[in-house]
Structure formats: C-alpha cells, structure tokens
Chain A
Amino acid sequence: MTKEDYKKLVSKHTPREPKLRNIVVAFFVGGLIGFFGEFIIFMLQESFGMSKVIAGMWTALIIIAISSILTAFGFFDNWVNKCKCGLIIPTTGFAHSVTGSALDYKKDGLITGLGANIFKLAGSVILYGVISAFILAIVRVVIGV
C-alpha cells in the first residue's frame, strides 16, 4: 500500500469533528464572557463613577483574577473541552495559560522553572498581540482615523 493510499484509508476512518457545533458553542460561551465583562464595566461606571476606559481596565483585571483563581481550583480542566474555544480565546484563556504554567513549573525552581516557563503558551499571545497592535496603529495613522 502506498503512502497516499494509506492516507486515504486513515481519513476514511477518522471521525469528523463537529465543527459547526463547536463554533456555535464557542460563540455563545465567549459571548457570555463578553456579556459578563460588559456587566462589570456597567456596574463600575454606575457604582464608582469611573470613566468607560478606566472601568474597562478594571474589568480586564477582575476577569484575569477570577480566571486565575478558577485555574487553581481545576475549573478549566473540566470545562475548556466542553466549552471548546469559548473559554480560551477571551482573556480568561490567557490568564489560565499563565497561571497553569506557573503552577506546573513552580517546583522546577523560581528562575529555571517558574520564570522560564510562565509565558510558555502566553508568550505567543503577547508577541503577536504587540505586533498586530503595531501594524494596526500604522494602518490607523495612514488612514488617518
């Protein structure tokens, strides 16, 4: 059997991933987190008289803190797979990956373990986040919005 024939045989037996269902689930879970964020922004504005920008920053901090605490309690282990990418794409996923690495590697020492590994997954998010922000800033200047 050639390698091409074998690949055909493999794809015949490989179960199809329910992509549409995953997308819908992720859309609703992600949307729910967004809704929750908006609710916090609204509450901060109403209760503490913050401006929308300041309230937004506090909201990001609150969501990051909640996610990190939930990571420690093992919440994500059970729920990420059920919620598909709905929990990973928002800030919750970022916070979870950082706290997860920190917990995982703290036993390998503060420098060689925790320090070297804490951004193992989140490093990509930071790097490409900064690059895209830079490109978008240039686009904005060029277009002159």
Chain B
Amino acid sequence: MSSRKYKNVYLNDYFTIVGPLEKMSHLKKYNLAMDDYYYKEKTFEQAEVKMQNTVVSNLMKNNFLNEGEVDLLVGGDLTNQIAVSNYNAKNYNIPFLGVYSACATFVEELILASNFVECSGLKKVITVVSSHNLTAEKQFRYPVEYGAPRPHTSTFTTTGAIATLIGKKISKIKMESSTIGIPIDMDISDANHMGAVMAPAAASTLMRHLTDLKRDASYYDLILTGDLGCVGSKILKEYMEKNYNIQLKNYMDAGCELFLDSQEVYAGGSGPACLPLVLFCKILNSKKYKKILIIGTGALHSTTFVNQKSSIPAIAHAISLEVE
C-alpha cells in the first residue's frame, strides 16, 4: 500500500515568489513578485536559480533558522538535470535531495519531506520548487522562443518559486496522509494536450487514495489537482464518473484557477509552481476549506521521446492537508 497516514507532521511556513504575468492573475498575498523574466540576472536559468535562492533564504530568515538547524533540503524544477535546483542547493551547507516528477514535483517533495519527518526523525525539512516559463519553453516546447500559434488545449508554464518548511512543530497546516502515484500511459502522444495525458494518472491516484484510506470523495472539502487545465479537468470528471462511478463535486484544478480569462493562456497554467501558488495564494486565503487533498500531476516525457513518436506516461502524487 503506497498510502500512509501521518501522526505528527506539519507545514510550518512557506515563502512564495511569482512571475510578472502571475502577479496580475487571481493570486493574492504572495510574498514577492518579479517585474520581468530576468529578475536582474543575465539569463533566464540564472534568474530561476535566484528565485529559488530568494525563497529558501527568506524562509530561513523568517523562521530564524541557520543552515545547521535544517536537516534536509529537497528541490526540483523543470530544467535538464534539474540544474536550477542543484545550483541553488550548492549555496547552502544543507544535505540535499534533488527530485523530478515534472509538474508533480511539489507534491513528491512534500511526501518525501513528510515521510522523513515522520519516520526518520528529521526535525526540519525545507522543500523548494520552481518553474520559469522561458526556461521550460526552451526545454519542452518549440526549439526556440517563436510565438508559434498554439492549440486551445495547450497550457502556459507558470513562473514562480515556493519554499516550504516541514517539521514536527504544531502549526495551522497538518499533513494528514499521502499516496504515491503509479505511472499511467493511456497512449496519448500530443505534447500540446497535457490535460488528456495526465487526467488518468490523477484519477488512478485519487482512487487508490480513497480506497486505501477507506474514504469517500465527499470526505474532502476540496480536491485540487495540479495542472490538468480547463480541458483536462473536464476529462478527469467524466473519466471518474464513467470508470469509477464517482461524481467529483468538490473539485478544482489549479491550472484553471490561476490566470484571468483575458490573459490568453488557453487551457490554463501548468508547471510545478502552479499547484503550490494556487494553494498558498488563493485557496488558503479563502479560508473556506478545512480538508484539502492536493494531487500534483506530471507528464513524464522528454522532447526526444515525443519526437520519436512515443506516447507520454504521466504520474500523480496526492497529499492531504488539514487546515485550521
């Protein structure tokens, strides 16, 4: 069974930075905002390293932590060899684990951190995740920044970075339980239709989470998927209904909730930063939800495999939060 409950793990604090377009979106109460994609650095990649560096440093400063007091740093992003996280981690004298599950990276980090705190007795773990629209574009979409016309199913990589502090200290957000996902491949190979690629993975993880913990979907006040987008979330709803006979009522997709309609991002936001930004800067602000299940969804492809006509596998990890 890949689901587990946590007795004593809390999300103590978080620090967020948002990009120039995200600043004008539905997000409120973020900690910092960037005016442009360079963030006073020479290249986009260095800008993303600086974003990660800023959130981690500020999180440590706000919690009066020095490097020796942090037991583990877990980091991830979308660049090749997760280079951004590695170049950020070298600035700290903290043990480091780099992880990758595309846009599900944030939830994978939370699960890892929570498991380490619960089982291995680590006291304070920092997770950091980032995505930058222009570094990700270079990595995944067109070979050059070209502005090529996009189909209405495509999503827009969110720019932002988020650091969280996970520990045993009791705080308002409790990590309640988690489920590690299984990679699912439904034979979709359209890299511009990530919602269709990832929806079955989200459904599978959600179902396993509910069966493992013997819960009903209505147990949660809100089920929040990562970045299926507006098209993908509709697919997920119908897939759940047809395949498992479950009607999702208390359901939202972070990608679909992020941008304004006028921002011309088609099916919505995506990227590992999308889910945490919507969670921390929109959902938690509303104070409406107590029990939240977040499901990070990631497409595990590379341009090489897509060009070689392979279909795209997807993964989804879930973690449930109890908010006071």
Q: Which among A3, A22, A77, A120 is the interface contact of B147 at CB below 8 angstroms?
A: A77
Whether A81 pairs with B147 at a CB distance below 8 angstroms is yes
Contacts of B187 in A (CB 8 A): 3, 6-7
Interface positions, chain B 271-306, Cβ under 8 Å from A, are none
Interface positions, chain A 88-126, Cβ under 8 Å from B, are 88, 96-97, 100-101, 104, 107, 117, 120-121
B143 touches A (CB below 8 Å): yes
Q: Which of A8-16, A38-46, A132-140 contacts B (4 or more CB under 8 A)?
A: A8-16
- B250-277 vs A, CB cutoff 8 Å, 1 = contact: the mask equals 0000000000000010000000000000
Contacts of B64 in A (CB 8 A): none
Q: Which among A3, A9, A14, A76 is the interface contact of B242 at CB below 8 angstroms?
A: A9
Whether B146 pairs with A6 at a CB distance below 8 angstroms is no
Whether A121 pairs with B231 at a CB distance below 8 angstroms is no
B148 touches A (CB below 8 Å): yes
Q: Which among A10, A88, A104 is the interface contact of B138 at CB below 8 angstroms?
A: A104
Whether A17 pairs with B239 at a CB distance below 8 angstroms is no
Whether B144 pairs with A80 at a CB distance below 8 angstroms is no
The count of chain B contact residues (Cβ–Cβ below 8 Å) is 29
Contacts of B144 in A (CB 8 A): 97, 100-101, 104, 117, 120-121
B249 touches A (CB below 8 Å): no
Q: Which among B146, B196, B200, B231 is the interface contact of A80 at CB below 8 angstroms?
A: B146
Contacts of A97 in B (CB 8 A): 144, 146
With contact pairs A1-B243, A101-B144, A104-B144 given, residues A13 and B149 touching in the complex (Cβ less than 8 Å): no
With contact pairs A6-B200, A13-B231, A13-B234 given, residues A22 and B188 touching in the complex (Cβ less than 8 Å): no
A85 touches B (CB below 8 Å): yes
Whether B186 pairs with A121 at a CB distance below 8 angstroms is no
Alpha-carbon distance A114/B149, docked complex (angstroms): 25
**B277 CB, min distance to chain A CBs, angstroms:** 23
Whether B146 pairs with A96 at a CB distance below 8 angstroms is yes
Alpha-carbon distance A121/B153, docked complex (angstroms): 23
Q: Which among A3, A15, A107 is the interface contact of B43 at CB below 8 angstroms?
A: A107
Contacts of B152 in A (CB 8 A): 15, 17
B42 touches A (CB below 8 Å): yes
Q: Which among B43, B150, B193 is the interface contact of A10 at CB below 8 angstroms?
A: B193
Whether B149 pairs with A81 at a CB distance below 8 angstroms is yes
- B147-164 vs A, CB cutoff 8 Å, 1 = contact: the mask equals 111111100000000000
Whether A3 pairs with B138 at a CB distance below 8 angstroms is no
**A125 CB, min distance to chain B CBs, angstroms:** 13
**B256 CB, min distance to chain A CBs, angstroms:** 13
Alpha-carbon distance A63/B144, docked complex (angstroms): 21
Alpha-carbon distance A63/B153, docked complex (angstroms): 33
**A11 CB, min distance to chain B CBs, angstroms:** 9
**B201 CB, min distance to chain A CBs, angstroms:** 12
Whether A100 pairs with B235 at a CB distance below 8 angstroms is no
Whether B42 pairs with A107 at a CB distance below 8 angstroms is yes
B324 touches A (CB below 8 Å): no
* Most chain A beta carbons < 10 A, residue from B42, B43, B146, B231: B146
Show the binding face of B for A, using Cβ within 8 Å. Answer: 42-43, 138, 142-153, 186-188, 193, 196, 200, 231, 234-235, 238-239, 242-243, 264
Going nearest first, the 3 A-B pairs with the smallest beta carbon separation are A80-B147, A10-B196, A101-B144
15 A-B pairs within 8 Å (CB atoms) are namely A6-B200, A6-B239, A7-B187, A10-B196, A15-B231, A22-B149, A76-B146, A76-B147, A79-B147, A96-B146, A100-B145, A104-B144, A117-B143, A117-B144, A121-B144
